[in-house]
Structure 1
Amino acid sequence: MFPTIAYLDWIDGRPAAAEHDLGSSDLRRSSGDRRDPVPGRLAGLAEPPASVRLTEQVATAYDVDPSNVLVTAGASMANVLAMATALDGHERETDEPAEPQVLVEKPAYEPLTATPRALGGHIHRFLRTQDDGFRLDPDRVDSALADEACLTVVTNRHNPSGKLIGRETLAATADQVRDAGGRLLVDEVYAPFTTDPAAGALGGPTAAGLDDVVVTGSLTKFFGFGGLRVGWLVADDAFVERAEQVAHHLPALAQPSVSLARRAFHHQDRLLASQRELVATNHDLLATFVDERDDLEGTVHDGATYALLEPTAADGDTVAEAAWDDGILVVPGRFFDEPDSVRVSLGRDPAHCEDALSAFGSVLDDLA
């Protein structure tokens, strides 16, 4: 019932083992940020008032009511809950049990197809293509929607390309999905990756508050606090209430993580400003690296610290294997439906990333 997720099996242990990490997409600067019980950037910061609840802090960030928020054990858990709740709702509303139809973007992060399939969904795909910058096209979504598709899944920023989509396009996509009788799930863990913060959640655009939309996020990617395993989903009251019931079947969020997450949100302005400086620097490093090479095709989108790149000398697996032989971690594109490509991510401190890009350049030179 639950298939192997090849990417998660492959990546396990590699960031810690790599001399040069160009695979981790969370802005954690150093490996110690995951090992220490209290992340260094939270140590010594004051606690919020005892009356402040994490659910309320997330709700404030998304400009919604606390009843629209469910805090979860990471964004992956939030996505599982969102998918399970949507598919469960479809079964409850269908007179004759039928296989739920789920539409997922392509290319995509592998669990976004593997998880709904494991939950009994039949997966359909729609394309986000290199030719048009991996933009989200509501009409293309509409053309791909199956009859009675109960759920459509997208990422923003797009994973793996880094393309960022504004709220207007998200709203138009949600309209198409709703007209077909379904719900839109937007995984927004990368949405705050921007050097020009907007009036949305944590500085990035959000689909939160749109009708029949569920949004997921976490402290892992932009904040860089992956060790806390704190995530959330944002949806209408009825969906959140049902998701809470589904969550009884899954692990709860540990109280120490809740406490540290409350501290992070209490100091979010300070933390976000620091992370945006890192985004700006690492984006420029990656963009310059790609611009200066004639053996890599692809776009480093504005504000993105990761990109889907196609080497001209070899396919993605060959390049990733050659890089790994030299202690460099890049992710083969086959895990994102793009076998000719690699995903290159700059989540560590700039000095580490600069050295890693130089080493990766040498690998590409040797393959030429």
Structure 2
Amino acid sequence: MFPPLAYLEWIDGRPAAADYDLGTSDLRLAETPDGAEPVPPRLAGLDAPAGDASLAALVADEYGVAEDRVVVTAGATHANFVAAATAYTLDDGCAAAADAEVGGADTGTDDSAGGARTGRDAGGDEDESGPRALVEAPGYEPLVELPRALGARVERFRRPAPEAELLPDRVENAVVAAGSEEIAHVTVTNRHNPTGRLESRDDLADVAGVVADHEGYLLVDEVYAPYTAEPVDGRGFGGPTAAGLPSTVVTGSLTKFHGLGGLKIGWLVAPPEFAECARAVEAHVPAVAEPSVALAKRLFANRDDLVAESRKRCVSNHGLLAEFVAGRDDLTGPVPDGSPFGLLRHDTADGDEVARAAWDAGVLVVPGRFFGAPDGARVSLGGDAAESERALAAFGAVLDGL
């Protein structure tokens, strides 16, 4: 039921082995060797919050919602797993469907009728059983394969290049083309992974309305939403958030914007009935460690200073990447305002060719094929300014040799 994820297998070990990392998208600080120091450098010496508020309460306060809408998870991947599983079991009173068939492994897309593409079983025939999920394309591979692993039939809708705008009519057309008036959930990322496009809360509300009309939930992975030059909302660490919209579930974590992936702390924010069911689902995979919870509370106790540090790095790295792309005649692809990553296309080489040449020179970039965009490569700046400048210079030398 749970096939290997090609992207995660490919990326495993590469950031540590690369001389120059333009593949990792979190805003990280230098880390100590594994096990040498359990407290991340970013949190070392910081005080815990006063009082006894739970981590769920602190997350709820950040998003401006009631605590009963928040479920704390072991990272964003765990949150997305719980959210998808909950969407499939909610109508059955949180009872898992034991007879769900598994969708197939075809991750391709079709731009007809808004970009719908049916899942297929192992024999190549369309699998009509199980709930239906709709996932953006291009898109992050685990968000495509997770619903299939849970027994859903996955359809796709396209966010058209190069801007990758999120269009409600594309969602509507893909649901209709799938041959059913109901959908369990529609999954999107904001910022979009891999292009970095940022949608407003109003835009997300329009899509949520379409999804609700088809009896489903909009699932929004917001791990990149806070990547902005200035706060655009007073909630969700300053990024546009869909939290609190009807029929909408958002997921987030401390990994990307906060650079604290080692803690494995994430969350989902959902309508109360969804969150209640999600807690029942989560009980099947308990994995949130108490030391991680305690350290996560330090971030919330020092929220303003730490968020300002991350935003400063976002702005700096966005500027470096945008300037790099603007200065080259062989690269195209927007670098959206405030984003330190983007999907870039070379004028003569596809994403795999660019990534292979870069890797041979010790530079890590991610082939776009892992997102359904094989003509491009995702380039991400997560390090400090000096590290990012060196990495871009090395990548430029690779491109000069293509």
TM-score over 0.5 for the alignment?
yes
Matched residues in 2 for 1:267 and 1:39: separation?
Answer: 14
| Partner residue, 2:247 | 212
Aligned length: 366
| Partner residue, 2:79 | 78
Q: Specify which structure has the higher proportion of helix.
A: 1
Matching of residue 117 in structure 1 with residue 148 in structure 2: yes
RMSD: 1.7
Structure 1 residues 122-131 or 103-112, which shifts more? 122-131
Q: Is the 8 A contact 1:16 1:31 kept in 2?
A: no
Matched residues in 1 for 2:230 and 2:210: separation?
Answer: 29
Are the structure 2 counterparts of residues 31 and 363 from structure 1 closer, same or farther at C-alpha, using a change threshold of 3 Å?
farther
Identity, % of aligned positions = 55
| Partner residue, 2:56 | 55
| Partner residue, 1:8 | 8
Runs of 5+ unmatched residues, structure 2: 101-128
- The runs of at least 4 aligned residues of structure 1 exceeding 3 Å deviation read 31-36, 90-98
1:320 to 339, 344, 355: 355
Counterpart mapping for 1:1-368 below 5 A: 1-32=1-32, 36-90=37-91, 98-131=129-162, 133-145=163-175, 146=178, 147=180, 148-199=182-233, 200-367=235-402
Question: TM-score when scaled to structure 1?
Answer: 0.96
Q: What do residues 324-364 of structure 1 show as CA deviations (whole Å, max 9, x unaligned)?
A: 11111000000000111100000011111100000001111
Q: Is the 8 A contact 1:208 1:215 kept in 2?
A: yes
Are the structure 2 counterparts of residues 269 and 34 from structure 1 closer, same or farther at C-alpha, using a change threshold of 3 Å?
farther
Q: Give the secondary-structure state (helix, strand or coil) at the position aligned to 1:130.
A: coil
Matched residues in 2 for 1:317 and 1:143: separation?
Answer: 31
Quote how far apart the aligned CAs of 1:139 are.
1.3
Q: What do residues 134-192 of structure 1 show as CA deviations (whole Å, max 9, x unaligned)?
A: 11111111111142111100000000000000000100100000001111000000000
Q: Is the 8 A contact 2:86 2:94 kept in 1?
A: no
Are the structure 2 counterparts of residues 242 and 33 from structure 1 closer, same or farther at C-alpha, using a change threshold of 3 Å?
farther
Quote how far apart the aligned CAs of 1:196 are.
1.2
Matched residues in 2 for 1:104 and 1:215: separation?
Answer: 15
Q: Is the 8 A contact 1:106 1:125 kept in 2?
A: yes
1:22 maps to a residue whose letter is L
Q: Is the 8 A contact 1:33 1:227 kept in 2?
A: no
Structure 1 residues 46-55 or 99-108, which shifts more? 46-55
Quote how far apart the aligned CAs of 1:236 are.
1.1
Quote how far apart the aligned CAs of 1:91 are.
5.3
Structure 1 residues 93-102 or 290-299, which shifts more? 93-102
2:143 maps to a residue whose letter is L
Q: What do residues 21-74 of structure 1 show as CA deviations (whole Å, max 9, x unaligned)?
A: 000000003344986411112111111124121111100110000000000000
Q: Give the secondary-structure state (helix, strand or coil) at the position aligned to 2:188.
A: strand
1:339 maps to a residue whose letter is P
2:41 maps to a residue whose letter is G
Q: Is the 8 A contact 1:102 1:151 kept in 2?
A: yes
Matched residues in 2 for 1:281 and 1:269: separation?
Answer: 18
Structure 1 residues 167-176 or 27-36, which shifts more? 27-36
Q: Is the 8 A contact 1:90 1:100 kept in 2?
A: no
Q: What do residues 209-267 of structure 1 show as CA deviations (whole Å, max 9, x unaligned)?
A: 01111000000000000000000000011111111111111132000100000010111
2:391 maps to a residue whose letter is A
1:53 maps to a residue whose letter is S
2:346 maps to a residue whose letter is P
1:47 maps to a residue whose letter is A
Are the structure 2 counterparts of residues 184 and 70 from structure 1 closer, same or farther at C-alpha, using a change threshold of 3 Å?
same
Question: TM-score when scaled to structure 2?
Answer: 0.88
